[in-house]
Chains A and B, each alone.
Chain A
Amino acid sequence: MAKPKPARAPKPDPAEGQKRSPMRRGMDTLIFRTMAPYLTALMVLFSVFVLLRGHNQPGGGFIGGLIAASAFAILGIAQGVSAVRRALWFDPTAIAAAGLTVSTLAGLMSLAADVPFMTALWVFPNIFGTEVALSTPMLFDIGVYLVVTGAITTVALALEEREDD
């Protein structure tokens, strides 16, 4: 697994655009490059919202993860892979692995409560006067979200990556 490459200023070389793929060339507009970080941030925020509402309304970890992965794919197309790696901080494969760990742990927690594996556990703590529903299925869903985000971002970034990137 490649480590995130060190931060590097975009190349000033005007000929750079010529070497890039047709897709990158086509997308390489000023407006897109400027807007992409905001779009990505919005999409990631939206993905978390979709993840959390999933238990009662359309949404959930799978869809949330797909949205987040598209967000990072867009950022990658607009600003290059190294920008995404810097923004993500963690390697996408590590995110996927962490998600799998979280989901497995969510299942294993029920063993500690002496019920079969993957039995849902719920608590309803009262935080600042609001009853908040916390559960192992929610934790599990967060794991799903991280796996989907991590795995698809891994693929997308690897495909976007070029030797000159």
Chain B
Amino acid sequence: MAASDAPYIFLTLIAPFLAAAIAPLLTRALGHWAALPLALVPAGIFAFFCRALADVQGGQAITGGYLWVPSFNVSYSWLIDGLSLTFVLLISGIGALILLYAGGYLKGHAQQGRFFSFILMFMGSMLGVVVSDSFLMLFIYWELTSITSFLLIGFDHSREASRRAAIQALVVTGGGGLALLAGLILVWNMTGVSTISLLIEYAQAVKASPYFFAALLLILGGAFTKSAQFPFHFWLPNAMEAPTPVSAYLHSATMVKAGVFLLMRLQPVFGDTAAWETILPVFGGATLLAGTVIGLRQTDLKLMLAYTTIASLGLLVMLTGFGTPHALESAVLYLIAHALFKGALFMVAGAIDHEAGTRDITRLGGLWRAMPLTFAAAMLAALSMGGLPPFLGFLAKEEVYEALAGSNPRAIAFTLFAIIGNGLMFALAFAVALKPFIGTERDLPGGHHGAAAGAETGAPPSALPGISPSRGEIGKRHTPHIHEAPALMLIGPLVLALAGLAAGIFSDAFHATFSAPMASAIAHEQRSISISAIPHLSLPFLLSLATVALGVIVYLLLDRAREAAAAALESIGWGPDQGFDQAMRGLVRGSYIITRRIQTGRLETYVMVTFIVIAAALLVPMTTFGEWPAAPLWPVDAGFHELMVFAIAVIGLFAVVFAADRLTAIVSLGIQGFAVAVIFMLYGAPDLAFTQFMVETLSVVILALVMTRLDLQPSDHRHGFERLKDAAIALACGAGFAALLMRAVQVPFNNTLTDFFNQWSKVVAHGTNVVNVIIVDFRGTDTLGEIAVVTITGLAILALIRIRVSGDVKPADNDPERSA
């Protein structure tokens, strides 16, 4: 690819968003067949980026982009190397298959167009994440994947479980995204560079910085939440509430790998340090074990797959940070293998659910006769997941053991982790891919077609054995005829499973094209991979045999293993999933208590607090800095008429305070205001005087109208202490303003602005009224803002007046305990 390709790259990056915009219309016109033209978009992206494969063979990168906010050095720029490219091809390739699958899976669903739109938006966001070079662009796309994931998990929004799962995923991954933003900004400040391609050159500066550890933790916060690492893993199983195409695409093949992607991307910067090589393997290893053990307990096909996905992500994180030769290579191989087999297995699980009407493994059996092609795809994927030759999964597992095995305690410990994890994953792979198809045929609820296809039979995350999802009784009324999944739903799993087989057989070509450039890009140095599917007697092969043996044993004893896992987990009792609910409840409760305390709903309190703050803001600084004004002199040069106006103002003031009823007080306030306006006029501010007259008039009229409207008691009801307190606050405010004004006129007057406006008002703005020229010309933009405020205030007041409160509504009556 050449530099002249930049516009085309940009076009491919926004193409999914454009397709998302037309997807609903297309679906209205073509029904579920809209999947075909829509799948052309990711297929086209796939084909376009295949052209770039040759350009990144030796670890080079394609960069380019556009300036976005030049003043902040922010750009829309991409970095496409072996790592990005492999991800781009996975996202677009699997994306095309998922669109076809969704066409069959959600056939007849009323919201299918919306679904296509969401999943295309997600695709565009995910593509953006993996090609971003600029930090901010990465962050924006990163959060966009969280938001689109939220929309997809909550797709079936009429069910509460869906909504909860969607909010949980958004809070966890979106919150992690904010940590990532903080981390990236910290790195930006440490090095002064804002693109990943440049940052890699500054790796030494980052490692030497005192903020290294803080930046690392923040970035890991983003990566671990996105990739569901322990203890943030809980959102992923709940996300299985989403329709199965979403689980297959976002929550196994692509989005959850964004965290791993980020770690791989930053490996040259943060890698090769003690912190990196401790935190990543420890958390990854913990996730691996936790994922497989909890997965063992499940009976729902999708939940079993979800927990093995968590385990696989843990393995990937562990390998990325392990730091031995072959570690990165094995991570690369495992990542690609996992995307292929797990995507296929999820689609198989969806097909079983679609045709048989349940995903409960204890109720499924004997489906191979009815669904031979689905069975074939499931077996091909499971063989890869189990790590048997000649599948890609086998290559990956050999390379994993090559990287981990060693004689030091660290290597032995993590090798043990990997054997247990891989062995349990082997068992789970065949539990998902084999159990439902073999054995005796069962009495099953039968397929759900047509409009009902959209509703998921999602069991709750803590699905107990024996409790089967909803549709059981309904299906039994007619004899179910279970048959093969439609063609649209078969293409995806078959293609992915066969790709895993092909990659294992033609391993040399696969390494040269995909895995070696990707590993080189991650390591930021030339790497080559030579592992092939031909079994060869070596330590990794023996460890593989041990893994398979463990897996077979667990598979045969699956029911007992499930009980053991359930018992072990029940003895712990509490998990982060409940913790999340407790934290959210605490947040709501805490907000409520604070709001109750601050927002009493009594206008008197608000006004009193406001005026106390104003008085303090005026008086405290003047006292602290000794800036009290000098006592004013008696205005000796004031004429008699001027003194009279002063006197009227003071009389008005007393009239307000001693007025018998409220209406008199308001009108008396007008006396005082008019007197001030006259003072303005006498002392050379006609514009101000003019405005003051009008404002005073209108204030009196509006205040009087408000008074009559509110039906207040005609006279003041305050007495005793309350009167004294309010008088003190009023005096403090008044004294503060008076002192401030006196102090302001006692400092030497700076003439710059006056001179400027006097000089230029007539010349530039053709006006002699400087005040007005400032309002409409020199500072016109300010005025525009002000009149917008005036308009909005008018509307707000109108809304307030129009509110009709009926009954006795207490203020702030929104106690979460009661409303819940």
- A interface residues with partner B (beta carbon < 8 Å): 1-2, 21-24, 50, 54-63, 66-67, 69-70, 73, 77, 92-93, 96-97, 99-100, 103-104, 107, 117-118, 120, 122, 133, 135, 137-138, 140-141, 143-144, 147-148, 150-152, 154-156, 158-160
Contacts and interface: CB of A to CB of B under 8 A. Distances in A.
A55 B766 CA distance: 8
A56 B790 contact: no
B790 A147 contact: yes
Name B's interface SS: helix
B60 interface: no
A66 B776 contact: no
B791 A151 contact: yes
Interface of B: 663, 686-687, 690-691, 694-695, 697-698, 701-702, 704-706, 708-709, 764-769, 771-773, 775-777, 780-781, 783-784, 787-788, 790-791, 793-795, 797-798, 801-802
B769 A140 contact: no
Given A63-B694, A66-B695, A159-B706, A147 B787 contact: yes
B795 A62 contact: no
B769 A59 contact: yes
A103 B695 contact: no
A93 B794 contact: yes
A22 B780 contact: no
A63 B690 contact: yes
Contacts of A159: 702, 705-706, 709, 801
B620 to A, nearest CB: 34
Contact of A70 (B698, B709, B766): B698
Lowest 3 CB-CB distances: which A-B pairs, in order?
A: A151-B794, A66-B694, A21-B708
A104 B787 CA distance: 10
B710 to A, nearest CB: 10
A67 B780 contact: no
B797 A155 contact: yes
A155 B766 contact: no
Given A150-B794, A154-B797, A158-B798, A70 B701 contact: yes
B765 to A, nearest CB: 6
A52 B648 CA distance: 33
B698 to A, nearest CB: 6
Contacts of A58: 686-687, 690, 769, 771
B783 to A, nearest CB: 6
B702 A156 contact: yes
Contact of B787 (A2, A21, A144, A154): A144
The interface centre, meaning the residue of B705, B787, B790 with most chain A CB atoms within 10 A of its CB, is B787
A93 B795 contact: yes
Contacts of B802: 2, 158
6 contacts: A21-B708, A55-B776, A96-B795, A141-B776, A151-B790, A160-B705
A153 B77 CA distance: 52
A59 B770 CA distance: 11
B708 A23 contact: yes
B708 to A, nearest CB: 4
B795 A22 contact: no
B766 A118 contact: no
Contacts of B687: 58-60, 63
A160 B707 CA distance: 11
B702 A107 contact: no
A60 B795 contact: no
Contact of A55 (B694, B769, B787): B769
Given A55-B773, A155-B702, 9 more contacts: A58-B687, A58-B771, A60-B771, A77-B701, A122-B766, A137-B777, A140-B783, A141-B772, A150-B794
Contacts of B698: 66, 69-70, 73, 152, 156
A149 B177 CA distance: 48
A20 to B, nearest CB: 9
Contacts of A103: 783-784, 787
A156 B780 contact: no
Contacts of B801: 155, 158-159
B688 to A, nearest CB: 9
Nearest to A104: B784
A159 B700 CA distance: 13
A148 B705 contact: no
Nearest to A124: B766
Nearest to B782: A118
B708 A22 contact: yes
A62 B688 CA distance: 11
A1 B783 CA distance: 26
A97 B547 CA distance: 73
A137 B777 CA distance: 6
A143 B794 contact: no
B691 A63 contact: yes
A151 to B, nearest CB: 3
B781 to A, nearest CB: 5
Contacts of A160: 705
Contacts of A152: 698, 794
A55 B687 CA distance: 11
Given A62-B691, A66-B694, A96-B791, A155 B798 contact: yes
Contacts of B708: 21-24
A45 to B, nearest CB: 16
A150 B793 CA distance: 11
A122 to B, nearest CB: 6
